[in-house]
Structure 1
Amino acid sequence: MDENGKVPVLVTGGAGYIGSHAVLALRDAAWSVAVIDNLSTGFAFAIPEGVPLYEGDIADADLLARIFREQGTKAIMHFAGSIVVPESVENPLKYYDNNTVKSRALIEAAVKGGVDHFIFSSTAATYGVPEVEAVTEDTPKEPINPYGWSKLMTERMLADASAAHGFNFCALRYFNVAGADPDGRTGQSTAGATHLIKVACEAATGKRDHVAVFGTDFDTRDGTGVRDYIHVSDLAAAHVLALEALIEQPKCSLTMNCGYGRGFSVLEVLDAVDRVTNQTIVRRMEPRRAGDPGQLISDPSRIRATLPWQPRFADLDIIVSHALQWERRLAEMRGDG
C-alpha cells in the first residue's frame, strides 16, 4: 500500500467495455493497474498507454501467479466473462464455464497469491423477475437464465471463500450499462453487441438499417421492456469507491446494486436516440427473447448510503450522446465512417 492508501490492482477483462472504463477511472485516480484479457471480445487499443496487458486466460494459474509477483497485486476487479442473456439460454455450459468455473480458478489463485480485496462484476439478472417495482439487495435471487445463475454462483463462492480465507470482496450488481467515456477514450466496441443503446447508435450512424424491439406485450407502460440505465463512467467510479471502502474496512464485505433507481422502456430509449440525433430510427417489432424479464429497476439506497458516490451522468440523453460520440469515433478508427 502506498502513502495514499492505494494498492496495485489487476483488472480482468480490462480490454472490454466496462473493464476499460474501470482502468481509466483507476488511472485517473493514480492507482497502479495492470490488465489480464484474452482479447476474445476486448481490444488492446482500449487500454491506456503504460498499463501492462497480459494476454491470457483468467483460469491460467501460472500466469496469474506471475502477474501477482510482477505487479505486487493486492486487489482484483473482475470483469472477464460472457454477458449475452439469450446466448446463455442457448449455450448454458459456455456460461457456467466462462463465468463460474473460471471465476473459481481466479478466486483460488487470488487466495494463493495473497490478494486482499476482490471486486466482482455481478448483475441484476440475479434477481430474475422480481415482484417489486424496484429491487433491493435483499430481494429474492431467482435468476431465470444461466447468465444470472452463473453470476450468482460466483457471488456465493466469493462469500464462502472470503469467510474461509480472510480477504474481503464487493459484488456490484449492475443494471443496464450504457454510454461511453465522455472524453472519447473508450466505449462499447464489441462487434455484434446486443446492448440496446449501442444497437440504436449503430442504426443512427448507418451501421444497421433498423432496431429490433424484442417484446411488445410486457406488463409495462408501453408493452416494451423497462430497464434502469447507468452510465458506464458512473459505474466505473463506483468500483474505485468500492475498492477504497474495502481497504478502509478490511473485515467488511459488500453487495450493492448499481443503478439510478428509475427505468426507461425500449421505446423511450429509442425516442431519446431520435431526439439526440434529430432523426428517426426504423423500429422492427419482434417476439420476446428467451430469458428477458419485463422490468428491472434498482433501488440504489445501499450504495448511496455506503459510498460517497455522486453520479455525474444520470441523464438518458447524456448517456445516448456519449454512446453516439463513441460510435462515430469507432467508425473513424475502423475507416468505415
Structure 2
Amino acid sequence: MTWLITGGAGYIGAHVVRAMAEAGERTVVYDDLSTGLAERVPDGVPLVAGSTLDGDRLARALAEHSVTGVVHLAAKKQVGESVDHPLEYYRENVEGLRVLLEAVTAAEVPSFVFSSSAAVYGMPDVDLVREETPCVPLSPYGETKLAGEWLVRATGRATGLSTASLRYFNVAGAAAPELADVGVSNLIPMVFEKLTENLAPRIFGDDYPTPDGTCVRDYIHVVDLAEAHVTVARALQSSAGHDLTLNIGRGEGVSVREMIDHIYAVTGYHRPPTVTPRRPGDPARVVASADRIAVELGWEAKHDVEDMITSAWAGWVRTHPEAART
C-alpha cells in the first residue's frame, strides 16, 4: 500500500506520516504548504506541493506514486475564522474534498480516510457523545466537516470506495519537539504564548453551564490520534466496502480552567487568567465516547493530559528557549 497524506506537512499530518512509517506503510505527502512545514516531512517521503482544488495535480500525484489509499487531513480548521469567512471554508473544505474524491475515484484508489471533527456535533446535551448523537454543528467549520462526511459516504456507496470518517476531539501534544504545534489557535499553545510573554491567559467565557463555568473538552494526544489512523487505514485495506464513522477521543472531560492549572504545574508559570466574552460557535461541553473504535478495531488512547502538556511544552521551548524555567 502507498498512502497519500493530504496536509501531511501540518501538525497532525506529520504525526500521521510518522506513525505510518513506523508501521511499515509507504506514504506520500500532498500539501500546499500554506500552514504546513516542509521540514516536518521525513527524509525519503516524497512531498508534492499542491492544492486539493487542483484536480490535475492530484491526478498526477496519485498516478506517479501508485497510490492505493488516501488520508485526507488538508483543511482550514479555525472555528472563529470560519464564522467570519464561511465562503473560504466551504471552498477549501468541501470543494477541495469533492475535487479530491473525483481524482481518487477516477484513479480507482480503493481506500479513503477522512479527517472530520467533533465540531459536527455542535452542542450535544449528553455526557458522552456517541457516533449516533445527532449532528447540529454551530459553525461553518463544523458544517463543512459534516458535509464532508456526507460526501465521503455517498461516494463510497456509489463507487465501492472503502471509507472512514474520524471525528477528532481536541488534539494536543507532540511525538517530538520538532513536530509540536507551532500555531496558537489551540488552547495549550495559546496559553504558552501568553505566559511566556508575561501576559495573562485568556478564558473565552466563564458563564457556560459547566461545573466551573468554562468550556469542557475531551483532549486526545496527537500520537494516539496518529496511531488510530494506522489502525483504521489497515482495517480499510483488509476488507472492501467499509463505511466507518468513529470518534477519536479519551472519554474524559477537562475544563479550560482545569487545563490552565495543569499547564501551570508543568511549566512553572502562574499568572491568573482573564475572562473575555465567549467566542462564537463554542459549545459548552463536548466529550467523546470512544467505545466503537475500541470494540470494532481494538484501539484506545494511551496518553493523559500531563503527557500532552509536557510534550507540547518541550516543543514550545525548542522554538522559544527564553521560556524555559529551571
TM-score scaled by structure 1? 0.93
Cα distance between partner residues in 1 of 2:92 and 2:100: 11
- Are the counterparts in 2 of residues 8 and 74 from structure 1 also a CA contact under 8 Å? yes
Cα distance between partner residues in 2 of 1:170 and 1:321: 31
**Residue of 280, 283, 296 corresponding to 2:270:** 280
1:215 to 2:239 alignment: no
Write the deviation string for residues 98-133 of structure 1: whole angstroms up to 9, x where unpaired: 100111100111000111100011001101110111
Q: Residue 11 of structure 2 aligns with which residue? A: 17
**Residue of 83, 103, 109 corresponding to 1:109:** 103
Q: Look up the equivalent residue of 1:203 and give its one-letter code.
A: K
Deviation of 1:336 after TM superposition, in Å, equals 9.4
- Are the counterparts in 2 of residues 178 and 198 from structure 1 also a CA contact under 8 Å? no
**Residue of 231, 250, 253 corresponding to 1:241:** 231
1:326 to 2:315 alignment: yes
Deviation of 1:277 after TM superposition, in Å, equals 1.6
Q: Which ranges in structure 1 are unaligned for 5 or more consecutive residues? A: 1-6
Of stretches 61-70 and 145-154 in structure 1, the one that deviates more from structure 2 is 61-70
Aligned-residue sequence identity (percent) comes to 40
Q: Which ranges in structure 2 are unaligned for 5 or more consecutive residues? A: none
**Residue of 90, 102, 105 corresponding to 1:96:** 90
Q: Residue 305 of structure 2 aligns with which residue? A: 316
Q: Look up the equivalent residue of 1:12 and give its one-letter code.
A: T
Deviation of 1:328 after TM superposition, in Å, equals 1.1
**Residue of 1, 26, 48 corresponding to 2:20:** 26
Question: Where does 1:107-186 land on structure 2 (aligned, <5 Å)?
Answer: 107-181=101-175, 183-186=176-179
TM-score scaled by structure 2? 0.96
Partner-residue secondary structure (3-state), 1:134:
coil
Q: Over aligned residue pairs, what C-alpha RMSD do you find? A: 1.4
Partner-residue secondary structure (3-state), 2:104:
helix
- Are the counterparts in 2 of residues 123 and 173 from structure 1 also a CA contact under 8 Å? yes
Write the deviation string for residues 78-102 of structure 1: whole angstroms up to 9, x where unpaired: 0001100011111111111110011
Query: Runs ≥4 in structure 1, deviation > 6 angstroms?
Result: none
- Are the counterparts in 1 of residues 191 and 202 from structure 2 also a CA contact under 8 Å? no
Q: Look up the equivalent residue of 1:19 and give its one-letter code.
A: G
Q: Look up the equivalent residue of 1:215 and give its one-letter code.
A: G
Deviation of 1:279 after TM superposition, in Å, equals 2.3
Q: Residue 87 of structure 1 aligns with which residue? A: 81
Partner-residue secondary structure (3-state), 2:134:
coil
Aligned residues: 324
1:61 to 2:50 alignment: no
